[in-house]
Amino acid sequence: MLKLDGLIDVERLKETLTGSDGKPYHNARNLAAGSIRCLDANICKNREISFFAFNILAGMDGFTDIRDSRSGLLLSLSGYGFGVCPFLTVSPGETAEDLAVKIKTLTDLAEIKACPAGLDIPIDGMVLRFDSFSYSASLGRTGHHYNDGIAFKFEDDTYETVFRSIEWQAGRSGEIAPVAVFDTVEIDGCEVSRASLHNLTFIKGLELHPGCRILVSKRNMVIPHVNELKFMGKSGPWELSGHDAADPPLLLAAHAHPFHGRRQGTHGGDAPL
């Protein structure tokens, strides 16, 4: 049993594959995930999705004498035709300088600074894990993850755009949340024009107002996020004043579902629903 990452060359497919709207695909992550979820091997074959193993869970006992080395088992997979995610091992006694060189090597691999042409593999971080399976198992796990490793996420690239307004929408849990609307920017091949603003405290901290310039990103290359105010301009931030229950009712889109609790008013007020 293996854990693998799927990769797809979306630039090549732009010339031959289009979505239901007739436009070429731009988001490689969504295209790869959607292709795999079709559960059709022919689709993955025709779209030339590649798979790279990054962990072994079970099932290698009959294929190799290696038992307690994660790196050893990963290396053995190449003999069975599997691609393996680039990795390096760190031994006791290595200096901080040695480790810095190895981290840079992994980064260069992902950015095609040391890879053969055609292996442009974007990454958003690195994972450090113990090599010994037995020691890893002894550390236990939470309901979410094992305790034998730690992930380091790289800083997200930010893009400057113009903030236009705040819209309020009901989420899946029924709570009303603020959403930033801004001029469209392209991030990781995807057009982005909206991002969650989480809550009123977050909005006040950013000091947003229509027409100001902001920096946005995609957290972990997935979730649109407003990072900071870049330039306020001549206007000051919105004043989010309180309002009582006599406020006009909040208008919801037709697809919004009923919910209970408190609403965040269109002017930032907090009033019982």
Q: What DSSP character marks residue 141?
A: B
CB distance 203 to 240 below 8 Å: yes
Residue 261: per-residue pLDDT: 35
- Residue 190: CA atoms inside 13 Å, Cβ hemisphere, count? 15
Give the homologous superfamily in CATH for domain 159-272: Nucleic acid-binding proteins (2.40.50.140)
Q: Is 232 exposed, middle or buried (0-12, 13-18, 19+ CB in 10 A)?
A: middle
Residue 248: per-residue pLDDT: 44
Residue 270: per-residue pLDDT: 40
Strands (E), the chain: 2-7, 50-56, 83-84, 125-129, 149-153, 159-170, 176-187, 190-196, 213-219, 223-231, 262-264, 270-272
Residue 164: per-residue pLDDT: 92
Q: What is the mean pLDDT of each run of 10 residues along the chain (273 residues)?
A: 81 73 72 87 88 81 76 87 85 89 77 50 78 90 86 84 90 82 88 90 86 89 87 63 45 41 38 36
Each domain of the chain, given as residue ranges in start order, spans 2-153, 159-272
Q: What is the pTM of this model?
A: 0.59
- 163 CB neighbour count, 10 Å cutoff: 22
Residue 2: per-residue pLDDT: 83
Residue-wise DSSP of 5-51: EEE--HHHHTTT-B-TTSPBP--HHHHHHHHHHTT-HHHHHHTT-EE
